[in-house]
Amino acid sequence: MDNSTIAAIATPGGRGGIGIIKISGPRAVSIATTIFSPAESKLKAIHGKTASTKDKTRDGFQSHRLYLGHIIDPENRRVVDEVLLCVMKAPRSYTKEDVVEINAHGGQVAVNAILELVLRQGGRVAEPGEFTKRAFLNGRIDLTQAEAVIDIINARSDKALKAAAALIKGQLKRRVEQIREFLIAFLARVEGSIDFPDEVEDIVDSRAAIADIKACAIKPLKQLVQHYLDGNILRQGLKVVVVGRPNVGKSSLLNRLLQSERAIVTAVPGTTRDTIEETLNIKGFPIVLADTAGLHDTADPIEILGMEKTMENIEGADLVIFMIEANRPLTAEDHNIFRKVKSKPFIIALNKIDLVNGENFVVLPDPWMEKDRVKISALYDRGLEQLKEKMVRTGFGKDAVDIETAIVPNLRQKLLLADSIRASEIIIRELENGTPMELIAISLQEAIEPLGQVLGTHVKVDVLDQIFSRFCIGK
């Protein structure tokens, strides 16, 4: 175990009210003592009672109390900043080591100066995710919880945040542990039957065993993998692409949903040349909305490139909003676009409904009428609530609301769960075929091992490094 004391700025860069410097490791408290001068000589805590002699240690800091004072450069006694400082003594801290947090007031310059002082006193700069890595290595959290910290940092919406929060509470861990324990108990029975071959039939009745493995391993594992597929959209955002011929109002819709003039809108067809992507939060769901170049026949090389991009975007979309003008008959271009998007989940948006006067309402062919439709005016903000609702319902399914309470694994975990499913399915085939127990025991180990890797009980060091490098510094 690394014995160094690490430090980092835990708040994002830029101009903010306060910045936090975090220190963790055996020297954290002594560094704090060297550079911190309390406002009151007896290190009186701001919150809570004054330290009693019982829980006050030699350094004078009471754990989990805030102290007001100054950071002073010990070399020249210069005051660097006025701060609030908190010491969290091991093991009651995030990393289970001694942790010091310094809330500085003086902006980025002061924060950097304090970090530099800490480093001069023998701390070293923390690697990305190193605080959380220590929390994991010191046994405070398991790997599923550590990985959930990354998801919380990166969460793009409220729903994604709640899904990650469920992991932090250790729910994935408990579910995977249950499955793993079942398989280990089963392995014990199989090994028993190898040692006592005469009792094979009694110990492993293959029909009951197959039913057990299906119910207690394969089914719950598959459920978790399904949650990954659902939850992935929560992490990455649902990719929604707005397509239509030029001038129907695609960019106007993007701007209206973003509530900003992000894309250029003009009455000239072919205004948008390149795809514009923005992340939106619609009813708590993350949506990555792409405005595209209008699709039509043209010889303009720039427009052709733009349209190629539009086609690529349709390919990669989770959901397409196919926009037409409500106040005009369909054109050949509209029909062409319909053919391009018809294999995708899509919603027809009939825009410019404000220009419809009773006679000029577009007539849609029968196959179009079967599709989900919504009448909108991007310009006058009409029908957009219905459009948002349809986007969420089509994109996230009607069970969308349940996702937040579901246990959502990440890609690494999902791949391991899939390995375990594959091995479990082999076990079933082997049981059906009367394969010797020695071989079944090997397959069982192959089903158990990936689950240990999910939990972090059997993970290689390079895998750990890779996981924690996805964090930002200071976490």
Ligand X SMILES: Nc1nc2c(ncn2[C@@H]2O[C@H](COP(=O)(O)OP(=O)(O)OP(=O)(O)O)[C@@H](O)[C@H]2O)c(=O)[nH]1
* Tokens matching residue 420: 């375990």
248 binds, among ligand X, Mg ion, none (CB under 5 to 8 A by kind): ligand X
Q: Is 352 in the site for ligand X (CB under 6 A)?
A: yes
Q: Is 204 in the site for ligand X (CB under 6 A)?
A: no
Q: Which of 63, 247, 310, 394 binds ligand X (CB under 6 A)?
A: 247
Which one, 236 or 271, has the nearer CB to Mg ion?
Answer: 271
In the complex, minimum distance from the CB of residue 342 to ligand X, in angstroms, rounded to a whole number: 20
Residue in the block written with tokens 């991007």: 378
In the complex, minimum distance from the CB of residue 287 to ligand X, in angstroms, rounded to a whole number: 18
Q: Which of 248, 347, 349, 455 binds ligand X (CB under 6 A)?
A: 248
Name the one range near ligand X by CB under 6 A: 68-76, 164-172, 264-272, 451-459: 264-272
Name the one range near Mg ion by CB under 5 A: 146-154, 211-219, 268-276, 297-305: 268-276
d(CA 212, CA 214): 5
In the complex, minimum distance from the CB of residue 271 to ligand X, in angstroms, rounded to a whole number: 4
Binding-site size, Mg ion (CB under 5 A): 4
Q: How far is CA 389 from the centre of its chain?
A: 23
Query: What residue type is assigned to position 368 of the chain?
Result: W
d(CA 115, CA 6): 10
Name the one range near Mg ion by CB under 5 A: 68-76, 122-130, 269-277, 400-408: 269-277
Which secondary structure element, helix H or strand E, spans residue 179, and what is its range?
helix 171-195
Tally Cβ neighbours within 10 Å of residue 181: 13
Which one, 101 or 303, has the nearer CB to ligand X?
Answer: 303
Name the one range near ligand X by CB under 6 A: 281-289, 372-380, 428-436, 464-472: 372-380
The backbone torsions φ and ψ at residue 351, rounded to the nearest 5 degrees and listed phi first, read -90, 165
Kindly identify the residues of this chain, within the stretch 306-325, that bind ligand X according to CB under 6 A: none
Q: Which DSSP string corresponds to 338-355? A: HHHHTTS-EEEEEE-GGG
Q: Which of 95, 171, 272, 443 binds Mg ion (CB under 5 A)?
A: 272
Q: Are strands 319-325 and 372-375 parallel, antiparallel or unpaired?
A: unpaired
How far, CA to CA in Å, does 280 sit from each of 157, 160, 239, 272? 9, 13, 10, 20
d(CA 27, CA 39): 23
User: Which residues make up the interface to Mg ion (CB under 5 A)?
Assistant: 250-251, 271-272
